[in-house]
Amino acid sequence: MSDETAPQGEKLQKVLARTGLGSRREMERAIEAGRVTVNGKVAELGERVTGDEHIELDGRRLPAAEENRCRVIVYNKPVGEICSRHDPEGRPTVYDRLPKLRSGRWISVGRLDFNTSGLLLFTNSGELANRLMHPSSVIDREYLVRIQGQVTDEMKKHLLEGVLLEDGVARFTDIVESGGEGNNRWFYCVVMEGRNREVRRLWESQGVRVSRLKRVRYGSVFIPSNVRVGQWIEMEPKEIDDLCVTAGMPKLGQRPLTQAERQNLQRQRRKLRKPPARRKPSKG
């Protein structure tokens, strides 16, 4: 196909998903429902845009391309926070400490349960989040786990070969012992999927108990040593490009940070040297 006949721009649902307003499938449904307009006309599914158009979703204009920079945050989640935006029980959520966005929303790349701490990634790009979580991306997640009970070589062999859980066969791709005493031993273990409570369920299938669980790595991303529990740090554009490669996407090649954006990033990193603010105890 020649350049003259090649389709121009990107599909509208892809552009919408990248703003963080929802997944690509959710944006497809919004287009089909007539909730999206392009230059004042109701959009059609599969329509292509270049980014110069006036695009609205439910009557609200999308930010201009220069405002819609892909952002990624590395968060060190403490035990006792849930990975939901709102909790009927009033418990703290992982979104409480994140910076506010002018447009779009933060999307969590996977989840950690209430009693699990460690690395969580957030992005305002629906496309990047979906690619990082999709099984086809084959991205490993590494955890540090403390086990109560005797762990034998035979148990580790079973866990590496595969164990049948209620939602199918699961396994660790690596298990490395990391010290401890008696029946309380630490292990680093790696999974390639993001199933609900997968690490806990794998160990429990062998008759032992997980007493501590922390995610320490997601693909090539580690928690920086200066980011304490309850703190976050924002990735630089080059680091985001590297993350895109991990997710099987082309590098975004984003514009350099403006002076104001650079100052905000430096200001936030200086705050990491201070201890995180204590939460006020809930009333009642």
Active-site amino acid positions: 113
Which pairs from 197-205 meet CB under 8 Å and 24+ separation?
197/113, 198/165, 198/170, 199/143, 199/145, 200/113, 201/165, 201/170, 202/159, 202/163, 202/165, 202/170, 202/171, 202/172, 203/145, 203/147, 203/159, 205/163, 205/165
Element (H, E) at 153: helix 153-161
Question: Please, which residues have CB within 8 angstroms of residue 16's CB and are 6 or more apart in sequence?
Answer: 22, 24, 27, 30, 31, 36, 55, 57, 62, 126
